[in-house]
Amino acid sequence: MIQQITWQTFLVATLVLTVIWYVAIVLLFYRRELFKVLGRGQLGNVNQFKRTEALPHRWEKGVEELSVRGADEEEMELMGKSKLPEGMMMVDSGGFGFAGGEDAREEQVGLVPDVLAEIRSLFAELSRNDLGKRDFLEMMASVRESFPKIASSPNIGRINEFIAEHAPFHLSAEELENLWD
């Protein structure tokens, strides 16, 4: 059957289908521009939604200002104001702090995480080099020298718990206490 189609028939069919395709595209997507070019200007209600003037901006006169709601006013939302989970409340960044004074804040935020990071790196080195308990105790001496204030920290019990949980060998309570002496 394909052998019966000539090149001339093929090219005419291709040309006709191409023209139909582009006419459909122009009529669907470029109707307004086509009628402007043809000189009709409008076709029924095609241009009824076009605005001739721009909307007013907030800096121009005659535009209403939105009122800023205070913290006491309830914000109106579609389904009402969202409720926080029980026991939680919204505070600004200055409304919370750590227990104790400024020294306790520095100790809780800086010293303990630094010591824990150092201990984690010790454990990583122990596992990389396949070292044992004796090597760990020697390495902990350098940690103790680097952080002398940690021995008097109220969080030393939690640090010892962390060491006992993550150490690849057993450490007795006496050995944990002696780490910081």
**Residue pair 31/43 in contact by the 8 Å Cβ criterion:** yes
pTM over 0.85: no
pLDDT of 24-55, one tens digit each?
A: 999 999 988 888 888 865 545 555 555 567 77
Domain residue ranges in the chain: 2-38, 102-178
3-state class percentages of the chain: helix first, strand second, coil last, to nearest 5: 55, 0, 45
How many angstroms separate the CA atoms of 10 and 6, rounded? 6
- Asked whether residue 72 carries a pLDDT value surpassing 50, the answer given is no
pLDDT band with cut points at 50, 70 and 90 for residue 13: very high
Which pLDDT belongs to residue 71? 46
pLDDT tens for 95-152 read: 665 565 555 555 555 678 888 888 888 888 888 888 888 888 888 888 888 888 877 7
pLDDT of residue 10: 93
User: Which residue did the predictor score with more confidence, 145 or 18?
Assistant: 18
CA angle 52, 58, 61 (to 5 degrees): 80
Residue 66 confidence (pLDDT) above 60 = no
